Amino acid sequence: MRIILITGKGGVGKTSIAAATALRCADLGYKTKVYSTDAAHSLADSFNKEIGCNETLIKKNLAAQEIDVNEEIKKNWGPIQGFIQQFLKYRGMENLIAEEMAVFPGMEEVFSLLELKERYVQEDFDVVIIDCAPTGDTLRLLACPDIAKWYMEKVFNIERSVFKAVRPLAQHFVDMPLPTDDVFESIKGLYKNFIGIKEVLTDREMSSIRLVMNPEKMVIKESQRAYTFLHLFGYSVDAVIANRILPEEIKDPYYHKWKEIQSKYLKEIEDSFYPLPILLGKLWDQEVIGMKLLSQMAEDIYGDKDPTSVFYKEKPLEIIGSDGNYDVYFKLPFASKEDLNIWVHGNELTIKFLNFKRNILLPRALSSLKLKKAEFIGDTLKVSFGGDDHGRKV
């Protein structure tokens, strides 16, 4: 089974690209499913077809689904939600507000993603395309398994033991609702599902993420942050899709400046995301809606490439930390230390090699540390951080 997640800043065209990618996969003969983890579903608009909360056949080999998040929440969150509601009502909150507050922000996306595990277990599709929520929501979503793991290892067993011991006595003295064994079992089951998702999504042979962006400064910066974050949590990005590029046939002088700006930012995209392949999608002269235009969009982006291919498998970026020190590893074939300049400015690490410059937005844990040294290990550049203040050029 092949799993491809399409994500990017809101408004860059990721839903259209997800739909076009799914359509191309189906046309190549793969049994394909596409669905959205975005609470504001728009797949139906993209295909210009009714898509319900159940699996909907779009055409031969292609199914789509806009998941009913309320049903997923009930199935995966029910006992926990019930306890939180009871507790909030005990604290004086009105019933309706307590019911709303018992569903935390972002849970719609989390439970939508649990559908992916079912598809993996049942093995009823060759390809699953996921139209993700905008980048910020997607990053929180993909961090959930690691957060859950920390909670289960550090807190959960202690909490469960304490409540099991004090519940019989406490119930005689307080009328406050206490979590039951059903609540703890639901948390445990949810954790197992999260870990299962992480195992599937970090399998580089099976799963990869494609970052969609427009050649604009703010969009590129957000995508850089996402790129660093995804590698930090072990997820694989196999391609970047630069979308809405002004095509050559536009000769109107009004767009001349825009073409220059896009050319500049396309170079920045290539430098920042090297060695990932950069796929290009043009700016269309109309909304890309319906099967015909989506098929043309897929042709424009992928050409003769098979979208199910893993376009890049290696880890171009890896961060390893221990005792307050961190090492960042970059694949830089054909480079040597004599040709490199490396410096940190704010939360941005810049690597300059001849005419090539790469900017990496650092995680918070690294951005406050000193840049200690840089060295080559084979074709990999190792950059070391430690201490508590910014370093200068190395």
Give domain limits for the chain. 1-311, 317-386
Task: Tell me the two tokens of residue 85.
Answer: 């509601």
The per-residue pLDDT for 297 is 97
Per-residue pLDDT at 25 exceeds 60: yes
Q: For residue 267, which amino acid is it?
A: K
Pick from 103-112, 179-188, 321-330, 380-389 the range whose average pLDDT is largest.
321-330
CA distance 297 to 238: 19
Q: pLDDT band for position 77 (50/70/90)?
A: low
- Which of these ranges, 92-106, 144-158, 335-349, has the smallest mean pLDDT? 144-158
Please indicate whether residue 175 or residue 118 has the higher confidence score (pLDDT). 118
The radius of gyration computed from the CA coordinates of the chain, to the nearest angstrom, equals: 24
Rounded to whole angstroms, how far apart are CA atoms 299 and 21? 9
Q: Give the pLDDT mean for 205-232.
A: 88
- The CATH label, of 3.30.413.10, 3.40.50.1100, 2.60.40.790, 3.30.360.10, for the domain at 317-386 is 2.60.40.790
- Residue 220 and residue 268: Cα distance in Å, rounded? 8
pLDDT of residue 177 exceeding 90: no
pLDDT of residue 386: 87
Q: In this predicted structure, what is the pLDDT of residue 192?
A: 73
* pLDDT(108) > 80: no
pLDDT at 153 (0 to 100)? 62
- The per-residue b/e assignment along 357-368, b for 16 or more CB within 10 angstroms, e otherwise, is ebbbbbbeebee
pTM comes to 0.75
Q: Tell me, what's the pLDDT at 225? A: 81
Q: What is the pLDDT of residue 392?
A: 47
Mean pLDDT confidence for 375-392: 75
Query: What is the reported pLDDT for 85?
Result: 75
CATH 3.40.50.300 fits 1-311, yes or no: yes
Q: What is the distance between the alpha carbons of residues 324 and 338, in angstroms, rounded to a whole number?
A: 28
pLDDT band, residue 97 (cuts 50/70/90): confident
Q: What does the DSSP assignment read for 186-232?
A: HHHHHHHHHHHHHHHHT-TTTEEEEEEE-SSHHHHHHHHHHHHHHHH
- Which range among 4-13, 127-136, 137-146 shows the weakest confidence by mean pLDDT? 137-146
